[in-house]
């Protein structure tokens, strides 16, 4: 395996980060973002869904309250990564229920994201892995990829997988000749990345205790995604 790269080697001035849910930016890219922020790169974070489906059966946390809290948690996470004043967009599409491809809702979302990519003009886009087992991640990849196409833009892309190694099947993984694996040694960004993940308190079982069916990031998942190297996939 090739040795991991130093984040300083990433030639990026304007970076768009695509997080299907609030927490993916920290889990998937937190270390690289911390380094890029310290180098003064322009970083715009696009949160695609409202994250409101993680506690659907909580009597005290209706969807709107949870979604607002998740935005506040995302803001805290960005502060931990040195991105407290970085621009961000909360697209607020429904978590676990993105509008189907070709529907009016999809067309509106596509128009909105196309306007964002035109305004950010990224030279690198950090995307969720195109075949992540979580549907929202695949849909977010598709939405932003189509927006770049419709804007006539072809920035470099790096894709980060969140659920692939945990619940992915063989077909979900990169195919021979499809992608190149890039590992970034995040080094001294690790404590900030861990704090950024922990800032998503509702997803770490810290905040809401009245929904036994709720989603919760396990310690094993957090450990897996907060190691010394962040893995990205670059299309060949
Ligand atoms: Zn996610």
Q: Where exactly are the structural domains of the chain?
A: 7-235
Report the separation in Å between the CA atom of 104 and the middle of ligand 1, taken as the mean of its atom positions. Answer: 24
Token readout for 80 is 């931990």
Q: Give the model's pLDDT for residue 55.
A: 83
Q: Give the model's pLDDT for residue 8.
A: 85
Report the separation in Å between the CA atom of 132 and the middle of ligand 1, taken as the mean of its atom positions. Answer: 9
Distance CA 44, CA 30 (A): 13
Report the separation in Å between the CA atom of 144 and the middle of ligand 1, taken as the mean of its atom positions. Answer: 15
Report the separation in Å between the CA atom of 1 and the middle of ligand 1, taken as the mean of its atom positions. Answer: 28
Average pLDDT on 181-199 reads 97
Give 33-70 pLDDT, tens digit per residue.
Answer: 999 999 999 999 999 999 988 888 888 888 999 999 99
Report the separation in Å between the CA atom of 138 and the middle of ligand 1, taken as the mean of its atom positions. Answer: 10
In 3D space, the residue among 74, 75, 82 whose CA is nearest the CA of residue 22 turns out to be: 74
- pLDDT-based confidence at residue 75 (cuts at 50, 70, 90): very high
CATH 3.40.50.1970 fits 7-235, yes or no: no
By the 10 Å C-beta count (0-12 exposed, 13-18 middle, 19+ buried), 40 is classed as exposed
Report the separation in Å between the CA atom of 21 and the middle of ligand 1, taken as the mean of its atom positions. Answer: 5
Are 126 and 19 in contact, with CB atoms under 8 Å apart?
no
Report the separation in Å between the CA atom of 42 and the middle of ligand 1, taken as the mean of its atom positions. Answer: 23
Report the separation in Å between the CA atom of 126 and the middle of ligand 1, taken as the mean of its atom positions. Answer: 14
Q: Give the model's pLDDT for residue 2.
A: 73
Report the separation in Å between the CA atom of 165 and the middle of ligand 1, taken as the mean of its atom positions. Answer: 14
Are 192 and 30 in contact, with CB atoms under 8 Å apart?
yes
Which of the two residues, 59 and 195, has the higher pLDDT score? 195
Report the separation in Å between the CA atom of 38 and the middle of ligand 1, taken as the mean of its atom positions. Answer: 25
CB under 5 Å of ion ligand 1: residues: 20-21, 24
DSSP assigned state of 158: E
Q: Give the model's pLDDT for residue 1.
A: 63
**Pairing state of beta strands 229-235 and 124-128?**
unpaired
Average pLDDT on 114-131 reads 98
- Looking at every residue in the chain, the average pLDDT score rounds to 95
Report the separation in Å between the CA atom of 20 and the middle of ligand 1, taken as the mean of its atom positions. Answer: 5
Answer yes or no: is pLDDT of 136 > 90.
yes
Q: Give the model's pLDDT for residue 215.
A: 86
Are 134 and 97 in contact, with CB atoms under 8 Å apart?
no
| Total Cβ atoms within 10 A of residue 5 | 15
Helices (H), 83-167: 104-120, 135-150, 164-167
Report percent pLDDT > 90 for the chain: 85
């Amino acid at each position: 395996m090739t040795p991991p790269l130093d984040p300083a080697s990433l030639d990026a001035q304007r970076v768009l980060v695509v997080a299907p849910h609030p927490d993916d930016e920290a889990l998937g890219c937190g270390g690289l973002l911390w380094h890029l922020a310290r180098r003064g790169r322009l970083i715009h974070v696009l949160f695609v869904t409202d994250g409101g489906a993680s506690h659907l059966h909580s009597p005290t946390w209706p969807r709107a309250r949870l979604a607002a809290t998740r935005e506040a948690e995302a803001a805290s996470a960005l502060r931990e990564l040195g991105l407290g004043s970085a621009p961000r967009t909360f697209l607020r599409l429904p978590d676990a229920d993105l509008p189907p491809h070709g529907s009016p809702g999809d067309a509106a979302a596509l128009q909105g994201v196309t306007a964002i990519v035109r305004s950010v003009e990224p030279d690198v886009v950090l995307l969720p892995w195109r075949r992540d087992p979580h549907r929202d991640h695949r849909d977010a990849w598709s939405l932003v990829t189509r927006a770049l196409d419709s804007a006539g833009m072809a920035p470099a892309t790096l894709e980060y997988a969140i659920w692939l190694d945990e619940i992915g099947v063989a077909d979900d993984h990169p195919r021979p000749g499809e992608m190149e694996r890039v590992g970034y040694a995040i080094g001294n960004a690790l404590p900030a990345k861990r704090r950024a993940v922990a800032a998503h308190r509702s997803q770490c079982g810290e905040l809401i205790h009245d929904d036994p069916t709720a989603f919760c990031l396990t310690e094993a998942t957090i450990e897996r995604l907060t190691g010394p190297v962040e893995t990205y996939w670059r299309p060949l």
